[in-house]
Amino acid sequence: MTVACVGKGGSGKSSVITNLAVAGLDAGFKVGIIDADPQQSAYLWNRVRTRGDIPVCRSDPAALGPLIDSARRAVIELTFIDMPPDLRQVPIAARYADLVLIPMRPTLFDLKVTHSLIRILDSVGCSYAVVLNAAPPIREFGESPMVRDARTALKDVSPRLWQGQITNRVTVPHATVRGSGVVEFEPAGPAAREFRSLWAAVSKSLKLEGANREYV
Ligand SMILES: Nc1ncnc2c1ncn2[C@@H]1O[C@H](COP(=O)(O)OP(=O)(O)O)[C@@H](O)[C@H]1O
Ligand SMILES: [Mg+2]
């Protein structure tokens, strides 16, 4: 199975990819990452990680096909693709991914890009989901007005909008700078809970069998 992240620069593609890969590994799956963004964030993260438990390959988006095939031959169950922000590359991700994730901050600029991405992904007919990232925290009165506004702006695609959120927390970059995912770095913390919940939604959408299904 293959999951790709597309979206605006700074929306959280690399953070979502690395954290989901770690959550998948933690759930007992053999995971790998293809870093198709010239910024090479996931590749750098893995160099800091040094554990060698998540292979990360760099690739031009145009060369994804053979790399995905070799990941399958290496019995990698889940390949995560970190795409560049360039919208012209999105159809390539759609061609290879079983699920495309669109992380977005609940801001006007991100919303504009997300609407463009939705048009592209709808036109090629692929499975995708929007993930609100770096969102203001949920308080006792519920989601923040920014998140509610973003959900309203996305009401036409509400079945494809993940019901949860990844909150803006310093734990996320802190885990990254250590080459970790939040589920390793602070397993009992709220960021880990959110990423486990996102992992659960992704594995349900992909109908993943085996490994530690009770993980969630
Ligand atoms: N949920 C979050 N909380 C706090 N910081 C975040 C969160 N998600 C991303 N960031 C930070 O925002 C910046 C951009 O995220 P990144 O994953 O590199 O985005 P992209 O790959 O889409 O360009 C990074 O510094 C990252 O650590
Ligand atoms: Mg990135």
The domain segmentation of the chain, as residue ranges, is 2-205
**Cβ proximity of 2 and 24 under 8 Å:** no
Count of Cβ atoms closer than 10 Å to residue 100 Cβ = 26
Nearest CA among 139, 88, 119 for reference residue 111: 119
Ligand 1 pocket member 133 (CB < 6 A): yes
How far is the centre of ligand 2, averaged over its atoms, from the C-alpha of 104 (Å)? 12
What pTM was computed for the model? 0.96
**Cβ proximity of 164 and 194 under 8 Å:** yes
* Phi/psi at 32 (5° precision): -145, 165
Ligand 1 pocket member 171 (CB < 6 A): no
Ligand 1 pocket member 179 (CB < 6 A): no
How far is the centre of ligand 1, averaged over its atoms, from the C-alpha of 15 (Å)? 6
Fold observed for domain 2-205: Rossmann fold (3.40.50)
Residue 165 is predicted with a pLDDT of 98
User: Over the stretch 157-188, which tens digit does the pLDDT of each residue have?
Assistant: 999 999 999 999 999 999 999 999 999 999 99
User: Over the stretch 97-142, which tens digit does the pLDDT of each residue have?
Assistant: 999 999 999 999 999 999 999 999 999 999 999 999 999 999 999 9
